[in-house]
Amino acid sequence: MTVANTQRTIDAIWRIESAKLIAGLTRMVRDVGLAEDLAQDALVIALERWPEIGIPDNPGAWLMTTAKRRAIDLLRRNKVRDQKYVELAHNMDLYTEEDIDAALDGEIHDDLLRLIFMTCHPVLSQDARVALTLRLLCGLTTDEIARSFLAAESTIAQRIVRAKRTLNAEKVPFEVPVGDELKERLAAVLEVIYLMFNEGYSATSGDHWIRPLLCQEALRLGRVLAEIAPQESEVHGLVALMEIQSSRFRTRVNAAGEPVLLMDQNRAQWDRLLIRRGLAALERSQKAGRPLGPYALQAAISACHAEAPTAAETNWIRIAALYEALSRVSPSPIVELNRAVAISMAFGPDFGLQIVDGLSAEPSLKGYHLLPSVRGDLLVKLGRLDEARVEFERAASMTRNAKEQELLRGRAAECAYDTSK
């Protein structure tokens, strides 16, 4: 394997293992900032050694072993209190491959949920929680997070550092709370899992359109939450949304890894088991006896697509109505943009374009690539190909995902080709 290929493989392994690694280390050292530093140290050592010795059969276990040894060395050097050192070094036999495998495959998954509840503690602001989640659980770089916030990289870096310091200073426990405290944090936890799933469903950057393992982990955490809080309507709503969206994974990219848009997907290949699970979760959400919240409404929209045998048979009028309801319970420019798409499908592109044009001055959408992308699609349907080409090119320049850039540039080229005939 070449050095370049090894580097790419290590990067992929890090994206898969980093959240579990940080969660497991946080359980041991009770300091999320220190845990991330230790995980990064292990990554640096891997980058130095793996090109020479080869990638281990179980890279996650190798990273965990290396990080734990670094933790013990650090505690020795800093003369941390004897009791904390004893707690950490108590079971040195965890360095055996079998025991580390068991830790990674078993309890470590519960550690991820504990980490989410820890980072969703009310001592942190919403922006800090979101930034820390994208960093620790989704593995995004500070630059990528800054782009999603439309903020300076230095601002986001400071926000993340302050958040980790606050968690440590306030001695926020590494646990899943119970009773009223669980309910108080539940909305923030759901938002974190939702963000985690969305990053997997449509990657912010990188060479891949989707990150299925991230979605699978978010869905697993959602299912665990549904067991912990079975009476909470929105927990079932989020699970329903993730189940139904996950059913499309095998059709979201083609054999070359290129994106396949919803209307072009082969619905016969959608996973019917996941759809049935999603519809059942949506029914549980509806039976809770409360008005549908934002996650349940989005799940109901996804259900409309899942229940339509073909794209042409989709009930776009119902979807438009559901987006109208969503805009009332959770108003945002992105919801409005999605409503514009539904309106255009139900009543014609002219109506959708009016809504999109009204969003053009929205500050929060200034760097959002889907705004010009949607506008380009509507312009194509109206036959205004020169304008559409400009919009697709602008959208391509705004996204950081390589596959999405290729898709948008391809659509721009199609517009140029049609106008040249």
pLDDT digits (tens, 9 = 90+) for 96-122: 334 334 333 434 347 888 888 898 899
Q: How many CB atoms lie within 10 A of CB 80?
A: 13
The SS3 call for residue 253 is strand
DSSP 8-state code for residue 90: T
Q: How many CB atoms lie within 10 A of CB 23?
A: 26
For the chain, what is the mean pLDDT? 86
pLDDT, one tens digit per residue, over 346-364 is 999 999 999 999 999 998 8
Better pLDDT: 89 or 166: 166
| Residue 85: per-residue pLDDT | 43
CB-hemisphere CA count at 13 Å for 357?
9
pLDDT, one tens digit per residue, over 245-281 is 999 999 998 888 889 999 999 999 999 999 999 999 9
| Residue 102: per-residue pLDDT | 39
CA 415 vs CA 106, 162, 264, 408: distances in Å: 52, 47, 18, 11
pLDDT of 157 above 50 = yes
CB 203 within 8 A of CB 399: no
Q: What is the average pLDDT across 369-397? A: 96
CB 46 within 8 A of CB 63: yes
Q: Which amino acid is at 131?
A: A
pLDDT of 174 above 90 = no
* C-alpha span between 112 and 128 (Å, rounded): 18
In this structure, what is the dihedral angle of CA atoms 71, 77, 83, 85, given to the nearest 10 degrees? 30
Spell out a b/e string for 119-148, using b for 16 or more CB atoms within 10 Å of the CB, else e. bbbeebeeebbbbbbbbbbbbbebebbbbb
In 3D, which of 120, 117, 35 has the Cα closest to residue 75? Answer: 35
Burial group, residue 409, by CB count within 10 angstroms (0-12, 13-18, 19+):
middle
* C-alpha span between 29 and 414 (Å, rounded): 55
Query: Which pair of structure tokens corresponds to residue 17?
Result: 């293992």
Instruction: Report the predicted TM-score, pTM, of the whole model to 2 decimal places.
Output: 0.79
Q: Angle at Cα 79 formed by Cα 73 and Cα 85, nearest 5°?
A: 65
Burial group, residue 295, by CB count within 10 angstroms (0-12, 13-18, 19+):
buried
φ and ψ of 304, to 5 deg: -60, -40
pLDDT of 378 above 70 = yes
* C-alpha span between 96 and 390 (Å, rounded): 58
